[in-house]
Amino acid sequence: MQTLDQIRCQLSQGQFEFSWHAFKHAVERDTSDQEIIQAATNVRIIEDYPEDKYAPSCLLLGLTDAGRPLHIQVSFIESELVRIITLYEPDEADWIDFSQRR
């Protein structure tokens, strides 16, 4: 399984792929690859899903250079590309500091 540092490195180098769900969300919410790369430099794990349906995963929080918060759920499976399971801008009404569910 990958470590957070490995995932951070791959994301920041653009070495990621989208699930269909994540791709759909990225298009709908106008989230660019560049924003993901920017957010990758400061991502941290805010939720861990060791028993996720297909493989262990986690929810990351990172900020773009413009300060846009992004939640990026990724798989911990080691691969040439990090698998982004879902991707969205968290709603302030649902999150405290974008990192803790209300």
**1-11: pLDDT as tens digits:** 888 999 999 99
Q: What's the pLDDT at 92?
A: 93
Yes or no: say if 64 and 39 are a contact pair by the CB < 8 Å rule. yes
4 contact partners, CB below 8 Å, separation of at least 6: 43, 44, 45, 58
Domains in the chain: how many in total? Answer: 1
| pLDDT value at 78 more than 90 | no
Q: How confident is the model over 82-95, as pLDDT tens digits?
A: 999 999 999 999 99
| R_g of the chain computed on alpha carbons | 12
Long-range (24+ apart) CB contacts under 8 A made by 4-7 are 4/43, 4/44, 4/45, 4/58, 6/78, 7/43, 7/60, 7/74, 7/76, 7/82
Give the domain extent around 97.
Answer: 4-101
pTM score: 0.93
| pLDDT value at 54 more than 90 | no
DSSP, res 29: T
| pLDDT value at 40 more than 90 | yes
Task: Show the tokens assigned to 43.
Answer: 């991502």
Q: What's the pLDDT at 43?
A: 96
